[in-house]
C-alpha cells in the first residue's frame, strides 16, 4: 500500500467476496467459502449470493445506513440459481430507490443480475441499479410487497 496514509495511491485493488445465502432470518455473512449468512456487513464491497434457503421470497439484508459513509458502494452478484429479495434492516424505515424496504417492501433481485448499491445519505437511503447478465441496465426496480 502507498505511503500516504489514509489516501493511498495504488495500482490496483481486489476485494474478497462475501459469500451469502438468501434466507428468511438475519444471519451475518463473511468471506468464508462456507458462509451461509444473509446480512451484508458494512465493510463488504463484493457480495456473491450463491443460494437461497427456500425460495424467491428469501432475502438478504443491507447494512444499516448509519454504519457506512455517504457514497458507500458495493456490488451484489446474484448467483443463487433463483431470484431473491433485498431488504434494509427490519424496522429501520430505510429506503431503497426511495421506498421503505425494511420488510414491508423489498427490492427484487433477479438471478444472474449484478446489482450496484450506493448510499446517498441516511434519509434518502440507497440507490440500487441492476444489470442483466447481458450487460443491459434493467429498468429501475421498485421495491414492492
| Residues lying near other proteins in the complex (CB under 8 A) | 5-17, 43, 45-48, 75, 77, 79, 97-98, 108, 110, 112, 114, 129, 131-142, 144
Minimum CB–partner distance for residue 67 and other proteins (Å)? 11
Minimum CB–partner distance for residue 141 and other proteins (Å)? 5
How far is the C-alpha of 1 from the C-alpha of 14, rounded, in Å? 12
Nearer to other proteins, 24 or 132 (CB): 132
Minimum CB–partner distance for residue 138 and other proteins (Å)? 7
Give, in order, the Cα–Cα distances in Å from 123 to each of 4, 32, 64, 99, 130.
Answer: 33, 33, 12, 11, 22
Q: Mind spelling out the 3-state secondary structure of 60-103?
A: EECCCHHHCCCCCEEEEEECCCCCEEEECCCCCCCEECCEECCC
Nearer to other proteins, 25 or 121 (CB): 121
Nearer to other proteins, 6 or 91 (CB): 6
CB 127 within 8 A of CB 121: no
Minimum CB–partner distance for residue 119 and other proteins (Å)? 14
Nearer to other proteins, 25 or 144 (CB): 144
Amino acid at each position: 500500500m502507498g505511503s500516504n496514509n489514509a489516501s493511498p495511491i495504488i495500482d490496483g485493488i481486489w476485494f474478497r467476496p462475501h459469500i451469502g445465502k438468501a434466507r428468511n432470518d438475519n444471519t451475518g455473512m463473511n468471506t468464508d467459502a462456507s458462509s451461509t449468512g444473509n446480512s451484508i456487513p458494512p465493510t463488504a464491497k463484493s457480495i456473491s449470493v450463491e443460494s437461497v434457503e427456500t425460495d424467491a421470497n428469501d432475502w438478504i439484508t443491507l447494512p444499516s445506513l448509519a454504519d457506512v459513509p455517504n457514497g458507500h458502494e458495493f456490488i451484489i452478484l446474484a448467483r443463487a440459481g433463483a431470484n431473491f429479495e433485498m431488504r434494509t434492516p427490519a424496522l429501520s424505515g430505510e429506503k431503497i430507490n426511495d421506498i421503505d424496504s425494511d420488510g414491508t417492501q423489498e427490492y427484487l433481485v433477479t438471478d444472474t443480475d449484478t446489482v450496484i448499491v450506493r448510499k446517498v445519505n441516511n434519509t434518502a437511503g440507497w440507490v440500487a441499479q441492476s444489470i442483466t447478465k447481458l450487460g443491459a441496465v434493467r429498468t429501475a426496480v421498485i421495491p414492492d410487497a
